[in-house]
Amino acid sequence: MLRERYDVAYVTRETFRGPIVMDEYACILVGLEAWSRKTTLDTLEMQHEALMPIVRVWTKKAARDAKLAERLEVALRKARRP
């Protein structure tokens, strides 16, 4: 519970560059799939320490909201295009 509150606060504020939006999260996931986490986070100007809180928060958001999960799937397909 405490980690969840920390994650939400961290991702909402993300002191380095601002809140993470869905398209950016989709790019992060595609970067993880391609084993290019560092490059992806650098391109999006995100702190590397933010990765796990971002993944945990967005995973929970998608699990709780079917419509959001559908929109995320569309964003993932778009992000996977060459």
User: Mind listing the pLDDT tens digit for each residue in 42-61?
Assistant: 999 888 888 999 999 999 99
| Exposure letters 24-44 (e unless 16+ CB within 10 A, then b) | bbbbbbbbeeeeeeeebbeeb
Residues in the chain: 82
pLDDT in tens, the chain (82 residues): 888 888 887 777 655 677 788 999 999 999 999 999 899 999 998 888 889 999 999 999 999 999 999 999 999 999 999 7
For the chain, where are the alpha helices, taking DSSP H only? 2-13, 22-33, 37-43, 51-64, 66-80
CA dihedral 55, 13, 64, 22 (to 10 degrees): -70
